[in-house]
Amino acid sequence: MASSSIIKTIPIMANPNFNVCHKLELLKEEGRSGDPKHQEGEEEVLSYEFQEMLESLPKERGWRTRYLYLFQGFWCQSKEIQAIMSFQKHFKSFQNDVVLATIPKSGTTWLKALTYTVLNRHRFDPVSSTTDHPLLASNPHDLVPFFEYKLYANGDVPDLSGLASPRTFATHVPFGSLKDSIEEPGVKVVYLCRNPFDTFISSWHYINNIKSEAVSPVSLEEGFDLYCRGVIGFGPFWEHMLGYWKESLRTPEKVLFLRYEDLKQDMESNLKKLASFLGVPFTEEEEQKGVVHSISDLCSFENLKKLEVNKSSKSIKNFENRHLFRKGEVSDWINYLSPPQAERLSALVDDKLGGSGLTFRYN
Ligand code: A3P
């Protein structure tokens, strides 16, 4: 059976960062001829070869698709596996690339907004641009694209070589599956970590809001059990966190490890840390002008949530932007988890992360 391939042109992204990148040329592998299988709750058509590979992987009930598969040691949907394989095969890192990494629901959208604004502050002044800053008209996911949900999704292989430096991307892929793709000296990774209690509650809300109707809702009890067994997209969460944590200790010039709770408590010092790590520290003059404060305000939960683009559009296929902004608080888990559930998760965190030096504030 021969597969055919087509060159596909996509419209220029809404992202001002990408306007310089003419039109992206994508190579799309079409499904094999014959009778491709369709997975319930997923839109894509899988090739027989890929289906065979998938069937060799351990699987569990999925949260928003029928199954999650254990791929390269982490749990993932079939569609994401295809995109990650394509990314691993085709992506070439450049010096100065910036990769934002998170496990879902750890504040990815926030980190994208902050990093984009810090890196582009000379082009788009966060102090004076009250109406024309890109963040006011674009969701952060349009400004910093995911490898696996955008750039390499659906078999696409984009030409990213013309993007302005520093190219800024995002991923949920664990460090072990990312490291070979970012070997170029000078590539920087920023990891944002959130306490597992709030990450679980945020994931549970989000997934039940966006899941396909073909998949039954995940109850809090069932979701909690899956989460504690490590079965969550890109999990187990402890391995995801530890992978980046250990790398940040080993190569602090390459991996910056931030915490959601620290950002909530003291945004300005964390913004300074971020800017210095990215090689664009704030000058004294900028600090006096209020640049740091303006970035913090522009990217705040309250500001982003109220923007029209974040109320009504979809920046990632099938995901409505409005679901990305729920409460944005620390310790909301207290309103959901029973004392025995909290004890179970607490014991798990102690067991898996104890001794690593990675700790959280979550109540
Ligand atoms: P909650 O569900 O607890 O409210 P991600 O961006 O990785 O999908 O994470 C989503 C979580 O980050 C949600 O948490 C969301 O409300 C919160 N969030 C989004 N934007 C934020 C911001 N600017 N500041 C703080 N939290 C934000």
Q: What is the 3-state secondary structure (H, E, C) of 291-326?
A: HHHHHHHHCCHHHHHHCCHHHHCEEECCEEHHHHCC
Check if 38 is active-site.
no
Q: Read off φ and ψ for residue 326, nearest 5 degrees.
A: -105, -85
The ligand 1 atom at the shortest distance from the C-alpha of residue 205 is: 2
∠ Cα 206 333 74 (to 5°): 55
Pocket lining: 301 vs ligand 1, CB cutoff 6 Å: yes
Ligand 1 geometric centre to CA of 26 (Å):
31
139 Cβ inside 6 Å of ligand 1: no
What was the pLDDT predicted at 26? 31
Backbone angles phi, psi at 159, to 5 degrees: -95, 105
Q: What's the rounded Cα separation, in Å, for the pair 342 and 40? A: 33
CB of 112 shorter than 6 A to ligand 1: no
Residue 106 in contact with ligand 1 by CB distance below 6 A = yes
The CATH homologous superfamily of the domain defined by 64-353: P-loop containing nucleotide triphosphate hydrolases (3.40.50.300)
What residue's CA is closest to ligand 1, atom 14? 328
> How far is CA 216 from its chain centroid?
25
What's the average model confidence in pLDDT over 180-207?
Answer: 97
Which residue from 143, 205, 324 has its CB within 8 A of the most atoms of ligand 1, so it is best to mutate?
324
Prior bond of 236 cis (ω within 30°): yes
Q: How far is the CA of 257 from the centre of ligand 1 (A)?
A: 17
Cβ contact 345:196 at 8 Å: yes
Q: What percent of the chain has pLDDT over 90?
A: 74
pLDDT of residue 303: 95
Sorted by where each begins, the domain ranges of the chain are 64-353
* pLDDT tens for each residue of 41-73: 444 566 788 889 999 999 999 998 889 999 999
Is the pLDDT confidence value at 33 over 90?
no
Q: What is the pLDDT of residues 93-146, one digit of tens each?
A: 999 999 999 999 999 999 999 999 999 999 999 998 667 899 999 999 999 999
196-210 and 339-353 helices, crossing angle to 10°: 120
**32 has a pLDDT exceeding 50:** no
Query: Percentage of the chain with pLDDT > 70?
Result: 86
pLDDT value of residue 40: 41
Residue 116 and residue 304: Cα distance in Å, rounded? 14
Q: So what's the pLDDT on residue 107?
A: 98
Amino acid (1-letter code) at residue 199:
T
Q: Name the more confident of 321 and 99.
A: 99
Residue indicated by tokens 């998938």: 54
| pLDDT grade for 342, boundaries at 50, 70 and 90 | very high
Atom of ligand 1 nearest to the CA of 304: 23
The overall average pLDDT reported for the chain is: 87
